[in-house]
Amino acid sequence: MEKTRSQTYTLSLLLMNIFIAFLGISLVIPVMPTIMNKLHISGTVVGYLVSVFAFTQLIVSPIAGRMADQFGRKLMIVIGLFLFAVSEFLFGIGNTVYMLFASRVLGGISAAFVMPAVTAFIADITTLKTRPKALGYMSAAISTGFIIGPAIGGALAEFGHRIPFFTAAGLGSFAAVLSFISLREPNRNPENKTIKMERNGLKKILSPLFFVPFVIILISSFGLASFESLFSLFADHKFGFTPGDIAIMITGGAIIGAVTQIFLFDRMTIWWGEIRLIRYSLIVSAGLVFLMTVVNSYWTIMLVTFTVFVGFDLMRPAVTNYLSKIAGDEQGFVGGMNSMFTSLGNVFGPIVGGMLFDIDLNYPFYFATIIIFIGVCLTIFWKEPVKL
């Protein structure tokens, strides 16, 4: 009983840390245009600022995952949260483009440190049976942070356009100190030691056990990023949506995603298993992304935009849960590779999507539909190991 209570407290603390980190990230969204105007930054430079974050995370994630296995989950989480705080503070005081890029590099390192370590920590304190619910809660914490962050950031911006950055830095520091004081390094879960890793490095990534889920992660993140970064522009250019309409659209979708992750994800995992859930989620995502190019009335647009991300919201924790089950005692390594392949898609997806958007507003969505459908085809040949 005492052990269960301790695990619940630890999980709650981890979820709070993730929530605070993503709340801090989204706090600054409303004031980014003001920063752009103040420093006379072009849209191209903003695109580079987004890409350098993802690229840094891409490079550092595999190393950070290994470090989480070698030096411990808690250390990586605490350092990552402190780096996040420094990153946001630098952006807040930044008066040159170079400082902003330095901030984004630190932000990418912090994300690479925190995410694999938190995922591995959750794998250590949960059983194979309870893990899907915990990972669903983690995804919901991320979504909820994104939901309320922009609203809080907009309110804070009334007191100064740099206040949201300093607030995010304060939240990151608070989370880091709280984690340092309250978190205890978990014992490695004996359930995770039933699978022995015989390959190392590239051979392990290319083995059938890991290669297919990693490619699924890359395909889905690439397809999602190719249109997600242009979502607001698409709604504005094609449908004439106001900022208020766009806020309702994004908030509604995030709420539905969070509710789905909390109340349905673990049940769907039990009913179908991860591979079938991933396949069905990708099918739903491909259909809804394509529908974005077809709908034309206000309410049908709102209905599709509210639900277009649900498939992705279910697919991501399903892949994470599957990888956690096959990772054995190398949870940090697998979490790092998960983060790396996600970042790889996030680096190149917006670039391709932006080029297609300049040709035709619908092309990024057609492209994403095709890429996601390739992922669906790949899952047909994906077989779960007999051991699982």
Residue 91 lies in a domain: yes
Q: Let me know whether 210 and 256 are in one domain.
A: yes
Q: Which domain holds residue 250?
A: 201-388
205 pLDDT higher than 80 = no
Provide the number of structural domains found in the chain. Answer: 2
Residue 47 lies in a domain: yes
Domain of 275: which CATH number? 1.20.1250.20
User: Please, which pLDDT band fits residue 84 given cuts at 50, 70 and 90?
Assistant: very high
Q: Which of 132, 149, 184 is the last residue of a domain?
A: 184
Range in 102-116, 230-244, 257-271 with the lowest mean pLDDT: 230-244
Q: Let me know whether 53 and 83 are in one domain.
A: yes
Q: Residue 139 corresponds to which tokens in the numbers above?
A: 């995804």
Per the prediction, the chain carries an average pLDDT of: 81
246 pLDDT higher than 90 = no
Q: Let me know whether 19 and 133 are in one domain.
A: yes
Q: Let me know whether 346 and 219 are in one domain.
A: yes
Q: Let me know whether 375 and 288 are in one domain.
A: yes
197 pLDDT higher than 60 = no
- Rg of the chain over Cα atoms, rounded to whole angstroms, equals 20
Residue 190 lies in a domain: no
Q: Let me know whether 153 and 241 are in one domain.
A: no
Query: Each residue of 342-365: pLDDT tens digit?
Result: 878 877 887 788 788 888 888 888
